[in-house]
A and B are shown apart, each in its own frame.
Chain A
């Protein structure tokens, strides 16, 4: 099945073409939905079989390349359209096709009745196609093809309801913002690729990474490559300073938020950093930058998440925050932990978003959690699954999120230091708090909606079954990565599986200090205790004494407003970057330089020539006597000159 891995790319493409070309003529939603879902479902099966086949191979043979055709061949540059099937790409592929399939199925119910039903499934399939190229590509250029492709799908799907308003602007504006901010990141990614080609004379992963491990390349060069690539990652994975597009991406339908803006696409940056681990590991300074940016993003987004009232907004900032954790992990050299968190996060965050979708669906498109309350009894299945996901993200022991988050916190302590750990734990506390705030305001407490107009109801099983499957994995998904401190001699299975990918990078890092198991368990207990206390307060405040929340926000009005307005980052960008460029282009470049200076010069020259010829024309007055005089004068001058020069 390894050799057939291209099917996982081809099938979604066929689904896209079919629904894209004929979807508008197919009136039957079922046909569209089943075709859209089954292509991804089969892709998942193929991936799974390839995974087991790879698992059966000896460790040194687990990296295989499937070549399709030569894409670009110019001088020394040879880019093949080829897929690299190895531990990392298989892990990512399983997440993409697995979670992707569930979200496709969910969408059959969620998008029911929408005019653009066929368009929606066409775009979703196109997304899976692009995302599979991204994770399977065996070189930077195919990765970039997928990278831009998912960006396009994100654009198309955020802007899916293109005639609607969104917050202060419109849906298409949110979509455009996402694409352009991502393009700023791509600018960095491109430069990174050029520098890689310049340095290693190749863009193929295997060649580049082998050379990176053995070539005498300066740390400065590695640093520059790494920082360029990381700029790309901050765009796609919504990190400081390019995170601003992700909250607005919530303008898209909820399944899109779950699939693209939570589970898969936004983790592409993490994947890329992890894929290029050897390059990052060769640039310790940039590793530090990655860790710090990740940490700050995690903290910042969590603080914003504390006060948001839109259910999807809370989850969006939570995603930004969790992505921060993943970069923190990568930055401290725990690459496999970052991918582990990509996986568990894909389960519980997709579940949270789909659950939110189910709630929004049942609440007649209402998204403000202040107008929910007590929904537990109306939507038992949604509630139960949402509850599990909330426990998972809050880091309750035994659930998937606990294992991955704990591993990241441990490595941030072991390789980064106590400050890293401390900020990480504070963020984890906030995460637990805002998630239980969300849970409480939605499912517990008083019903705050208008009973005359809103009749909450549970969603159909086509939506709730995917929720249950995701809940199952959110609960147990962590057991493949039980830390060594518990599992003993077998070690962390997930870590062992990915280990060969990162071995060269880890060898370069070489900075793991020795820490005792006692320390590890102590920190674990500490962080769990803090998370539990945060949960306690959140439930207490938001179900029993909502006035406390109001009092606190009134007491710290300034701080509250800053958080509510997301630190005014959008406003600052608008005033400092967008407006100057726009006004400058219009007033200075176009109206002044082009129309006044350049055209002025061109037309000015024309005028001078015109005026000059007008003057000369007067000499040609047709009076023969005048010509005779000029002639005589000329002859006289010539004679004078001849005589003088004798």
Chain B
């Protein structure tokens, strides 16, 4: 039974690390940086051990570790992973050290506090993905807001206060409704089973028995919270501001992992807890998702700020994930799950790349650049690969996700109309428009500003070390996605099976 503690080790590695950081002197920046990297690498290694010990042929939660925590409320510390959460855990532990490495030069102000925040953030994200107790989940969900708030508010750009407060309030509003719903759910469960419980697996049995009308409200409360995080149109306006003001590391984590907590939440909570409502709301939500796909792409197209362009592209990409989730076919949901990872990799890489030239010139406006292919050829190549991955070129990761989502949506009996796919697939065209147009204006042409020749230097070794691992996975998922799809297939099927077992009458 010893290996069941692995998830706990994983979770507490960054927590302990963050506490230890507090004991270092403020001026030991170099040491703190290395220490932070070291801690996150240990977390990555532990997650790999979990990956190799994971049996993907089983749909059940594995590495479960449960300890009674608040006995009067029957709340326990309960963690475990299935294929989907493990994949996102790996994404988190993979991106965090890379992100820290990317800040080597960018963050100079208060490195101690920054490293503390990043480690704390990692713990929060991991907690969200591995919690099997809804109360525990909520604690991590909220706890994560704090370091992110600081990362934007302290190390951000000029309008950082506006952006961080907007981020905080937006998410807080959603969270509070979810808290009310969680309490209601636990109380309701005590009425059914005779005892107050926050255990997710028990709630899975209770949730679907909630009467129709009330279930809709419960679903709505959970969904609103997740939809803000995703963000789903029209709740997305915090995102561009947060991204633009956040430092590169913040943007990468925000896009790479934080947004996935929303889509993960939908898959883990909204669908299995309230299956009937999920099916009832699926058409409406899918329409919003598709609006997001097209809207995000079109608004992205006309941005003048590179970072804002990438930020809006997230709205478009995450629209695909939400659409795939609510199509509720194995293909579509598998596509949605892999697309969460894809978006983390491609958009993460894009933010890193924007950060690389921003560090050198302190400019993000597209119009300032032009012709940099001549000055920084390696950078131009890297930006091309990241853009193509985001465009969804077959052979790279983005295609796998989009293809599965669209294919699965097409045959979805929940949505039951081709029009969803027809409209969503236009996103394939628009993605090419906004990314290639940006690429053309930034990279191609004559060198527009002669001063660029002095300021802009090509990528250094450290930046390579950060990007190469991401590119490896971009190609890996593109060529051999089965490594990852195989990991999540049973879990996906199990969720869908659960949903359909309660909604047989609705679907017929």
* Residues in chain A within 8 A of chain B (CB atoms): 24, 69-75, 77, 141, 144-145, 147-149, 152, 155, 159, 162-163, 170-173, 175-176, 179-180, 183-184, 186-187, 190-191, 193-195, 197-198, 581-582, 584-586, 589-590, 593-594, 598-599, 602, 606
Contact = CB atoms under 8 A, between A and B. Distances in A.
B189 interface: no
A389 B140 CA distance: 72
A145 B299 contact: no
Contact of B170 (A149, A590, A602): A602
Contact of B480 (A71, A171, A594): A71
A346 B237 CA distance: 52
Contact of B298 (A162, A176, A186, A581): A581
Contacts of B452: none
A172 B422 CA distance: 29
Query: Which of B298, B399, B400 has the largest number of chain A CB atoms within 10 A?
Result: B298
A191 B237 contact: no
A72 B393 contact: no
A145 B330 contact: no
Interface stretch (B95-103, B113-121, B130-138, B426-434): B426-434
Nearest to B407: A194
A194 B373 contact: no
A451 B428 CA distance: 52
10 contacts: A73-B486, A75-B330, A75-B493, A152-B393, A162-B445, A171-B444, A172-B445, A581-B298, A585-B298, A585-B302
B86 interface: no
Interface in B215-236: 234, 236
A71 B482 CA distance: 7
A194 B335 CA distance: 14
Contacts of B444: 159, 162-163, 170-172
Contacts of B432: 179-180, 183
Nearest 7 pairs of A and B residues by beta carbon: A75-B330, A172-B444, A585-B298, A586-B302, A194-B410, A145-B394, A162-B444
Interface string B455-492: 00000000000000000000000011110011001000
A597 to B, nearest CB: 8
B364 interface: no
B82 interface: no
Contact of A194 (B166, B234, B330, B421): B421
Contacts of A180: 429, 432-433, 436
Nearest to A194: B410
Contacts of B283: none
Interface string B326-351: 00011100110000000000000000
Contacts of A179: 432, 436
B428 A74 contact: no
Interface residues of B, number: 57
Contacts of A590: 299, 302-303
A145 B400 CA distance: 11
Interface string B367-408: 000010110010000000000100001110001100110110
A598 B237 contact: yes
Contacts of B400: 72
B295 interface: yes
Contacts of A163: 371, 373-374, 444-446
Contacts of B418: 194-195
A328 B23 CA distance: 78
A197 B445 contact: no
Contacts of A73: 482, 485-486
B301 interface: yes
Given A149-B395, A172-B440, A602-B237, A191 B388 contact: no
B411 interface: yes
B480 A69 contact: yes
Contacts, number: 135
Interface in B299-315: 299, 301-303
Contact of A149 (B394, B406, B433): B394
Given A162-B373, A173-B440, A191 B170 contact: no
A179 B437 CA distance: 11
Interface of B: 166, 169-170, 234, 236-237, 295, 298-299, 301-303, 329-331, 334-335, 371, 373-374, 377, 388, 393-395, 399-400, 403-404, 406-407, 410-411, 418, 421-422, 425-426, 428-429, 432-433, 436-437, 440, 443-446, 479-482, 485-486, 489, 493
Nearest to A156: B384
B299 A72 contact: no
A589 B299 CA distance: 6
A148 B481 contact: no
A183 B146 CA distance: 42
Given A197-B410, A598-B237, A74 B394 contact: no
A590 B303 CA distance: 9
A394 to B, nearest CB: 38
B394 A144 contact: yes
A179 B388 CA distance: 12
B394 A582 contact: no
Contacts of A191: 421-422, 425
B428 A197 contact: no
A598 B170 CA distance: 12
Contacts of B236: 598
B490 to A, nearest CB: 11
A613 to B, nearest CB: 14
Given A74-B404, A77-B331, A184 B393 contact: no
Chain A CB within 10 Å, residue with most, of B301, B302, B371: B302
B485 A74 contact: yes
A198 B411 contact: yes
Contacts of A606: 169
Point out which of A163, A175, A593 has the most chain B C-beta atoms below 10 A from its C-beta: A163
B425 A190 contact: yes
A171 B480 CA distance: 35
B480 A77 contact: no
A75 B482 CA distance: 12
A72 B482 contact: yes
A198 B332 CA distance: 13
Contact of A170 (B373, B445, B486): B445
A77 B329 CA distance: 12
B410 A195 contact: yes
B425 A75 contact: no
